[in-house]
Structure 1
Amino acid sequence: MRKTPIFILVAIFLTVILAGCNSDASSNAESAADSGELTIAHKLGETVVPKNPEKVVVFDFGVLDTLDTFEVEVTGIPKENIPAYLSKYEDGQFENVGSLKEPDFEKIDEIAPDLIIISGRQSALYERLSEIAPTIYMENDTQNYMNSFKENVNKLAEIFGKEDVAEEKLAEIDKSIQDLNEKAAAMGENALIILANDGKVSAYGQGSRFGLIHDVFGITPVDESIESSTHGQSISFEYIVEKDPDYLFVIDRGAVVGGESSAKQVVENELVKMTKAYQNDHIIYLDPNYWYLSGGGVVSVAEMVKQVEEAL
């Protein structure tokens, strides 16, 4: 009878020790997972990156948009022409790493980042940036917009442990696109997409920078022969009158890069006023913060869908 309390004490002692060991093992496993590495394949190669990197330099506003949604801290960004809805990154706590076309290599080297993320404008500088830190390239493939967008979001989610957030946001976007497709099909009208830039206009068709309006959202193009290019096909206002679209979607480049004239002044001239789009109040000015500066972000893509859906 006297031995029973001793056995109980020994059992309790062993239980506490084992629980502590399990807790330490669990903590160590989590720590190992957090400090692990991933191999990220991208168009410019394969890059070994740390999981949950602490110091991140971002050269793409769409990527910045997604990381902001994920509540991931970034260290450095190019501070020229930051989209209005991401204006908090103009704050001094974020390092200025140059411009989209001309990175400040000295500043980036000083930061000693754990990860650098680039896109099209910096692709030629990939090797040089890779010498400073692990660098990955994230492309918005206009020929395969949604797949490339989702691939980028999921890669970022994997790196920063945000898979649940990514799954939720992508599901919401998929549902909104499905609803938009149904509305576009029922509407049965066509559209022309143009970029206005200080008195000049360019048209964008299927497979182009803004072609997801046709390719993904399901709105019929007024002209299927528009050449697919980054800078669009230069057109005249007579062309717009000739094609006479039901809807005219306009992206105002000057509004976000310091242009001298507004798109409305340029587009709504006496010729364009002859079109169905103008007469039916179907000239839609899309927000260039989302369409021109930060395409391919979780917020920007959701807003693109929303703006076109509201226009219809």
Structure 2
Amino acid sequence: MNKKISMLFMAIIFIVVLSACGANKEANNGAANTSNNAATSSNTAEPAAPAEEEELTITHKLGEAKLKKNPGNVVVFDYGVLETLDKLGVEVAAVPQDSLPGHLSKYKDSKYTNAGTLFEPDFEKLNALNPGVIFISGRSSEAYEELNKIAPTIFMGVDTANYMSSFTENVTTLGKIFGKEAEAEKELAAINDSIKAVNEQATASGKKGLVILTTGGKVSAYGPGSRFGLLHDVFGVAPVDENIEASTHGQSVSFEYVAEKNPDYLFVVDRDAVVTEGEKAEPASKLVENDLVKKTNAYKDGKIIYLDPNYWYLAGGGLLSMPEMLKEVQEGIK
């Protein structure tokens, strides 16, 4: 009897063990199937496109450019754009090196390709470089069609009649192309704060100003909507003459004109200081501070303000020059 009970007990234990093994095997198979299904699901999911392969379409004054985000081998024919890319930390490959403003002299280094001149690009070098994008403005606009055959070419000149809107659009677009949106927004916010302060200061003074450019012994005046019109349109300095012709080269004037208009502030851009080759040009002060100009309020009050032509003439429209231009005006009209 005891023997039968023992055998029955062992049989029961054997059945329990077999059941447990079967359950474990089924659980393991289920887990494996779940893992395989997850892997299959993962493999069939559509992979996200890498950020550098994202394509952008940029509409500009001369046409439309299709390019990849964060393009390589960047070529720049506008010093305002070069300033902005420099400030945003974007590396460039080629620039016209012969006429670089002083504050961009680091781009004369041999690690950068000399792209020719602002007016005559070196097409052979650019073809060999295989750029991802080319930026131009007015000085290089005649070469647009030829450059556009080499790489997507974008016109980014500042519209002097709508200075801040075009400046803001250019900076924002560059931020978008190179994934620097937040940095661009931050820089623009700081500039707008400075503009507000300078504009309030200029308006509160109640004084009027005149901008002139000197070159080769000649003088041109600039008013609202002109090349240097942002001084009036954006910075808030009231113009001494509302009727100055708004042209690229300004309105040719005499010193009799300056004396007659009698500005409270006389802003001077000395072109010869940055374009004269060979022997150093005489400072504009020798030409400007003559007997006629000495009769003006600007001379009597010590308000003849010599603006840096590197920022105002050669460059402008970039994230390096704009803050410096604001500082010059703010200091000048104190």
Q: TM-score, normalised by structure 2?
A: 0.86
Percent identity, aligned pairs only, is 57
Q: Is the 8 A contact 1:143 1:207 kept in 2?
A: yes
Mean CA deviation greater in 121-130 or 222-231: 121-130
Task: Letter of the 2:284 partner, please give it.
Answer: A
RMSD of the TM alignment (CA)? 2.4
The corresponding residue for 1:287 is: 308
The CA deviation string for residues 101-136 of structure 1, in whole angstroms up to 9 with x for no partner, is 111111111111111111001112111111111111
SS of match in other structure, 1:234:
strand
The corresponding residue for 2:292 is: 271
After TM superposition, give the deviation of residue 306 of structure 1 in Å.
Answer: 1.6
The corresponding residue for 1:301 is: 322
Is the counterpart of residue 177 in structure 1 residue 195 in structure 2? Answer: yes
Is the counterpart of residue 125 in structure 1 residue 146 in structure 2? Answer: no
Q: Is the 8 A contact 1:198 1:262 kept in 2?
A: no
The corresponding residue for 1:260 is: 281
Is the counterpart of residue 230 in structure 1 residue 248 in structure 2? Answer: yes
Task: Letter of the 2:316 partner, please give it.
Answer: G
Q: Is the 8 A contact 2:213 2:268 kept in 1?
A: yes
1:58 is aligned, of 73, 76, 79, to: 76
Task: Letter of the 1:300 partner, please give it.
Answer: S
Q: Is the 8 A contact 2:120 2:143 kept in 1?
A: no
Task: Letter of the 1:129 partner, please give it.
Answer: L
1:242 is aligned, of 247, 250, 260, to: 260
Aligned partners of 2:182, 2:85: CA distance in 1, in Å?
14
User: Unaligned stretches of 5+ in structure 1?
Assistant: none
Count of residues in Structure 1 that have an aligned counterpart in Structure 2: 305
Query: 1:201-216, aligned counterparts within 5 Å?
Result: 201-216=219-234
1:77 is aligned, of 79, 84, 95, to: 95
Is the counterpart of residue 44 in structure 1 residue 65 in structure 2? Answer: no
After TM superposition, give the deviation of residue 14 of structure 1 in Å.
Answer: 5.1
Task: Letter of the 1:29 partner, please give it.
Answer: A
Q: Which segments of structure 1 move beyond 3 Å, counting only runs of 4 or more?
A: 1-4
Aligned partners of 2:98, 2:253: CA distance in 1, in Å?
29
SS of match in other structure, 1:131:
helix
SS of match in other structure, 2:48:
helix
Task: Letter of the 2:293 partner, please give it.
Answer: V
Q: Is the 8 A contact 1:199 1:261 kept in 2?
A: no
- Structure with more contact order per residue of length (Cα contacts < 8 Å, sep ≥ 6): 1
The corresponding residue for 1:114 is: 132
The CA deviation string for residues 205-260 of structure 1, in whole angstroms up to 9 with x for no partner, is 01000001111111110011110000001111111111110000011111111263
The corresponding residue for 2:48 is: 29
Is the counterpart of residue 139 in structure 1 residue 157 in structure 2? Answer: yes
Q: Is the 8 A contact 1:77 1:96 kept in 2?
A: yes
Aligned partners of 1:49, 1:87: CA distance in 2, in Å?
29
Task: Mark the CA change 1:89 to 1:245 in structure 2 (over 3 Å): closer, same or farther.
Answer: same
SS of match in other structure, 2:194:
helix
Mean CA deviation greater in 231-240 or 264-273: 264-273
Aligned partners of 2:322, 2:109: CA distance in 1, in Å?
25
The CA deviation string for residues 42-95 of structure 1, in whole angstroms up to 9 with x for no partner, is 011111011101111100000000000111110000001211111110100000
SS of match in other structure, 1:248:
strand
Is the counterpart of residue 188 in structure 1 residue 206 in structure 2? Answer: yes
Task: Letter of the 1:203 partner, please give it.
Answer: A
Aligned partners of 2:87, 2:329: CA distance in 1, in Å?
22
